[in-house]
Amino acid sequence: MQKKISRIGVLCSGGDSPGMNACIRAVVRTGIYHELEVFGVMRGYMGMVEDDIKPMDTRSVANIIQRGGTILKTARCMEFMEYDGRKKAYENLRKRGIDGLVIIGGDGSFRGAQTFSNEFDIPCIGLPGTIDKDIAGTDFTIGFDTAVNTAVEAIDKIRDTADAHDRMFIIEVMGRDAGYIALHSGIATGAENILIPEKKTDINYIIESLLEKEKRKKLVNIIIVAEGEEFGGANELSKFIKNRIPSLEVRVAILGHIQRGGSPTCMDRLIASRMGYHAVECLLEGRHNVFVGIVNNKMNYTPLNEAVKKKQRINEEWMKIVKILAT
């Protein structure tokens, strides 16, 4: 017989993403609705190891749905990667009677949850909180929509000044291992080229297209590059292009961490609220050690051990669209 869940903990792990607070709010209030005791774990797995865990009530999550970041803070914890650290974390949960966990984070956070659950029989539910949208099993991750809209707004403004001066801009967006922010923001802003880690860059094609555009006096060009692309980001790409085409006026803009902050969009608030609600429902129903995603607007449940092995793949059609629309 499944042990009845009575006390749950919620934490954020890895990089922050807009919408995490909306998700925390949903977990806390859904738990309390079902007469569970809910605890917030500060600074992710580090708070579990260091016993930085506090009880939460409905007032704890008042007026946070519109805020970026996370009220529980987040951190990476090297100690949790070792068995002794995880055992210490388990002891801290056990003395409070916490018998279920909701982890908001990315695939690295899910790996930690899967290992911890296997070792100490604590049921865990993962929620995809990452701006990169790089987890298979969900159409969107919490924070992606806000991050990509932040990038779009910035790129639109940069295009204005590029047009005013007849310049080319190389704009670097976040995406160490995943190119979704670059791909979506690039298509949405009419970028002439989009460079992402998942696809090998044909630099000769880019140079040839820039030379062809220069001949027909198309001097305003926007190239979006994900930070993890093979050239090493916007600065290295700029050096290469200026070396090959000295006549081009090239400027670089690195958007950086503005993509992680800010008030979450309506979509991020909605999916975070739905996922947080369903995470608690999963624990109550005995559906343990899964991550909760949304596919075709329906809830989708992927076992954690499968989620950590799969990456969201770039659809080839997206790349075809980029090529056709950038001519």
Give the C-alpha distances (Å, rounded to integers) separating 4 from 1, 86, 100, 136, 292. Answer: 9, 23, 10, 30, 20
Give the C-alpha distances (Å, rounded to integers) separating 221 from 239, 249, 251, 325. Answer: 16, 10, 10, 13
Residue 142, SS3 per DSSP:
strand
Contact present, 7 and 102 (Cβ < 8 Å): no
For residue 54, give the nearest of 96, 86, 94, 25 by alpha carbon: 96
Active site residues: 132
Residue 142 has phi, psi (to 5 degrees) of: -65, 120
Residues in the chain: 327
What is the distance between the alpha carbons of residues 295 and 230, in angstroms, rounded to a whole number? 31
Q: Is 215 exposed, middle or buried, given 0-12, 13-18 or 19+ CB atoms closer than 10 A?
A: exposed
Contact present, 307 and 291 (Cβ < 8 Å): yes
- Strands 168-173 and 124-128, by their bridges, are unpaired
Q: Count CB atoms within 10 A of the CB of residue 167.
A: 17
CA dihedral for 157, 159, 165, 169, sign (positive or negative): positive
Report the amino acid identity of residue 136: A
Report the amino acid identity of residue 29: R
